[in-house]
Chains A and B, each alone.
Chain A
Amino acid sequence: MHAMPTNSSLRNLIVAAAVLLLAGCATLFRPQQEHRAASVVDYLYPNASEAPQLQPGTTTLRPPVRVGIAFVPGGQWDSGASEQSKRLLLERVKAAFSQYAYIGRIEVIPSNYLHARGGFDNLDQVARLFNVEIIALLSYDQVQFNDTRAAAVLYWTIVGAYVIRGDKYDVQTLVDASVFDVASRKLLFRAPGSSQVKGSGTLASFSERARHAQDVGYVKAVDDLIPQLKTAMDDFRERSKHDAQVKVENKAGYSGGGDIGAFGLLIAGALLVLFHAQRKPV
């Protein structure tokens, strides 16, 4: 004859089953919306309680200008794309602008050189460290919407969790490039780029697919940004010709003189003598 379970044992069994069931449910439900952002305003004006005041003055540019490009640092737990992805994205921007004669060296600045909410002081340090005059800061704002399809009910069959694409995502990315003159701390020009990546995945593959979609979102947004940044730069060049607050001048010490010099004159004189000597009849 089997012993009957006691009330205490039965209660423990029910509690354990409930815990397991709830834990399983927790893996099925994701947040409806995920948000990653790094704002250039938060970075440059971390403690601003009121709008920053513009300081009057002339911005002097001496082409070919040395330019640094960097992603604005995000929050502590919100780093956006991986460091490697950021570097690759910045390299794409660098390649798009390296052929311009008025742009000299372009330095890709790793994110760890910029501190979150570092302000212009941090920007000055980085500019000195990398020896750049202008810095293009790329801020980003990425929102991922997660939704569940009706077919997700088949996840309960276990096999469905690996076969049925019951979850879908919609990743919307905005990347904004703000170009600052470090010395005058002025915003020279800015340009946006945006993208939208949609897709779906099974319960098992959703996280991986969503992460990939986030990376693709950044890439597409940067691809959208590059032509707009070129247009903004051309507009700025035209504007700077008439803007009294922007002065474009040559770098000091770069002037060159084609001077033959007194020694060159002597050599030319020697050639002249040789030329006339060979003309004399023997």
Chain B
Amino acid sequence: MRSASPYRWPWLALATLALGLAFAVLPESLRVACEYDRQALIDGEAWRLWTAHFVHFSARHAGVDLSTLAMLGMCVQRRCGWRVLASLLTCAPPLLSLALYFAVPELLVYRGASALCVACGAMLSLTLWCDVPTMRRLLSGTVGAFACKLAYEATSGAASLSGLGGGVCIAWQAHLLGVAFGVFAFTVWRSREPASIQENRDATPTMELLA
């Protein structure tokens, strides 16, 4: 039986969950000051690039997003290490916000951690796809379900599956950008991995590698 190492405990994912919950209990005026606001960004309030992904429109919105982020974050941390998750959580928010700024000029206000969830999910899926070939059929089904969800959101613009209030639409573009960032992060992570580990991965059976 493997001993419980402190490095295996998903402290960073749980800390992210705690951070998200802390943002959730802030007064609305402070949450407004943290959201992605295109006009405020133009005026130089750069912190919003990062904080926008940790504030939410409602308690239900925060609950669903943060629990998803915690689940996927734990998996990413266990599989890839805390440094990878830390890099992802540090770099993804501003890059995703900037991508939204340039790619979706009509989007003036944005809140939510879903793009981070999708980035973590994409990274985890790619890791499993590469390391556990026997799971590819199940993974294909999961990815396909997500693709259908994304397509539905993009074509209908509905928020019926979410807890967003009136006048707030699903920013499906953020999810698409999250996928792109997840793929990018996975590629960077794998390319920076030492060659010896890559060779071991190729030579060692998956179960032994993950054990």
Interface residues of A (CB under 8 A from B): 63-64, 101-102, 104, 248, 250-265, 267-272, 274-275, 277-279, 281-282
Contact = CB atoms under 8 A, between A and B. Distances in A.
B89 to A, nearest CB: 15
A257 B117 contact: no
Contacts of A263: 145, 149, 161
Given A256-B174, A257-B170, A262-B64, 4 more contacts: A104-B105, A259-B57, A259-B114, A278-B207
15 contacts: A63-B108, A252-B167, A254-B106, A256-B170, A256-B174, A257-B56, A258-B53, A258-B65, A259-B57, A260-B68, A261-B162, A263-B145, A264-B149, A265-B68, A274-B135
Interface of B: 37-39, 42, 53, 56-57, 61, 64-65, 67-68, 71-72, 75, 78-79, 104-115, 117-118, 121, 124-125, 128, 132, 135, 138-139, 142, 145-146, 149, 159, 161-164, 167-171, 173-175, 206-207, 210-211
Contacts of A257: 56-57, 61, 110-112, 114, 159, 162, 164, 168-171
Given A257-B61, A257-B159, A282 B207 contact: yes
A281 B211 contact: yes
Nearest to B175: A258
Contacts of B159: 257, 259
Closest 8 CB pairs of A and B: A258-B112, A256-B171, A259-B162, A258-B114, A260-B114, A255-B109, A261-B161, A257-B164
- Which secondary structure characterizes the binding site on chain B? helix
B144 to A, nearest CB: 10
B128 A101 contact: no
Contacts, number: 153
Given A252-B167, A255-B167, A258-B53, A278 B210 contact: yes
A264 B146 contact: yes
Contacts of B125: 271
Contacts of B68: 260, 264-265, 268
A279 B135 CA distance: 12
Contacts of A271: 71-72, 75, 121, 124-125, 128, 142
Contact of A259 (B145, B146, B164, B167): B164
A278 B65 contact: no
Contacts of B149: 261, 263-264, 267
B171 A265 contact: no
